[in-house]
Structure 1
Amino acid sequence: MHIHISDTPGQVARDFAKFFEAWLAEKDGPVHVALSGGSTPAALFRLWAEEYPNRIDWEKIHFYWGDERCVPPDDEESNFKMASDLFLAPVGVPSCNVHRLRGELPAEAEAGRYAEEIEENLPVGNGWPVFDLIILGMGGDGHTASIFPYQIELMEADEVCALAQHPDTDQERITLTGKVLNNAHDVAFLVTGQSKTSKVAAILNEEEGAQAFPAAHIKPVHGKVHWFLDQKAAQGVDEKV
């Protein structure tokens, strides 16, 4: 586990962008990356569009999503729309490199279709698709991707993609499952803000009860997990971690 602490949310995005540029330089294409939704990735996407359009070989990266809300691609809640508007279109990522979850289609059928698309494009290891990098966020309840505490069994599901439901809004979602998340070469959490402090501390300090949070179960089998945190999110992390 590697912990990176930055002063501000904006600096988290900037530090991850530098990490990503160096990480990508060591990779031969194609490279398969799963994106996250949320405010911190939005800051990263804006930074990529503003400062990295010519510093990164976007054509060698294939982009996927760790989860998606079951909404059309032009809906303001769509993770795809956010990424497309903020950086995929502005930097000119080829459309054939963008593998979106089709949230407008019937959820169960789309979960199966997306799993097939992933399996057709990604290498396989340990019987599961291998992403080069999965970018994750974490909610204030400790969820990651769209695996919520009340559906923590999805960490051990035998499908590549599964249906999930937001516990408060009942909104239907599609998410990668735990065995796929933990089969990546690298996983990077981008987590910022005071609302995440207690959960980050519980997980990284390995406190009693932390296993109730799905994010605590992200431990790549043969890869690395990086936590990119701002000072507020990292406030309770033990210095020995």
Structure 2
Amino acid sequence: MNNIHVFPTIDELSAFFAQKLAELSHSVPEGKQASIALSGGSTPKGIFQYISQYAADSIHWDNIRLFWGDERCVPPEHEESNYKMTLDNLMVNIPLESSNIFRIKGENAPMEEAERYSSLVTGLLPKHKDTPAFDMVLLGLGEDGHTASIFPPDINLFDSKSLFAATQNPYTGQKRITATGRIINNARSVFLLVTGSSKAEMVARILKKQEGYEKLPASRVMPESKNLFWLLDGQAAELL
């Protein structure tokens, strides 16, 4: 089911998500760690800044391993790197060991890196129905309905047998590496984080199942666990 939560401000949205992350970090059995796949984009950036400044102490970071759901094919120090965005906005104030950080290496050849990361994740994550299962996946929503780095022309990646795949931004040609629907929808929980009035039309199309919605990648986010959370600010929800 869709758990839709609307917040007046991004700070309130961020506080809610930080609480969910804290609850997960404190619920991990002794000797285990929760695996979280992060997203890039403006909304996660704001949430990461909030957590770093106001909520870092509430989270048991030793119990968390960080992965990424997608990455631009650039070096880790590049301004467009999702890893760098997380480093600059989340990790700056948190005691996370480097041994618990598993980045997608955007500087590598895309297809080879997608295969390497798939193998890495397969070796580290617990399985559900023979597929690695993240405890939590964070996703954003593009104005074209894309999520992770699955754009409308590549919506068939939701049916791929691969775990991660090489793709590209159809508007800029920039190469990307992305999680596929197979691993996104196998997660224990998925959070779609959406803010701003520019996303309102797309949010309404998907959640109201308006004409053509099924062609939008974000409409295919349907975790088998049924734990899908839409976290929206008031502007993103203004057409609901």
Q: Which category describes the TM-score, using the shorter chain as reference length?
A: over 0.9
The answer for the alignment partner of 1:205 in structure 2 is 208
- By how many angstroms is 1:132 displaced? 0.3
Counterpart CA distance in 1 for 2:35 and 2:24 is 13
2:190 aligns with one of 169, 187, 192: 187
The answer for the alignment partner of 1:20 in structure 2 is 21
1:89-125 per-position Cα deviation (integer Å, ceiling 9, x unaligned): 4212100100000001111111110001000000111
Counterpart CA distance in 1 for 2:9 and 2:93 is 25
- By how many angstroms is 1:17 displaced? 1.4
Greater CA drift, 122-131 or 84-93 = 84-93
1:136-166 per-position Cα deviation (integer Å, ceiling 9, x unaligned): 0000000000000011111111101101110
CA RMSD between the two structures: 1.2
The answer for the alignment partner of 1:32 in structure 2 is 35
Conservation of the 8 A alpha-carbon contact between 2:51 and 2:90 = yes
| Superposition pairs of residues 78-157 of structure 1, within 5 angstroms | 78-157=81-160
The answer for the alignment partner of 1:7 in structure 2 is 8
The answer for the alignment partner of 1:167 in structure 2 is 170
- By how many angstroms is 1:39 displaced? 1.1
Conservation of the 8 A alpha-carbon contact between 2:25 and 2:61 = no
Corresponding residue SS for 1:164: strand
**Structure 1 segments of 4+ aligned residues over 6 angstroms from their partners:** none
Aligned-pair identity in percent equals 40
Conservation of the 8 A alpha-carbon contact between 1:184 and 1:223 = no
Greater CA drift, 201-210 or 125-134 = 201-210
Greater CA drift, 10-19 or 195-204 = 10-19
User: How many equivalent pairs are there?
Assistant: 237
Corresponding residue SS for 2:56: coil
- By how many angstroms is 1:229 displaced? 0.1
Structure 1: gaps spanning 5 or more residues: none
Structure 2: gaps spanning 5 or more residues: none
Counterpart CA distance in 1 for 2:129 and 2:212 is 29
Does structure 1 residue 62 correspond to structure 2 residue 72? no
**TM norm structure 2:** 0.95
Letter in 2 for 1:107: P
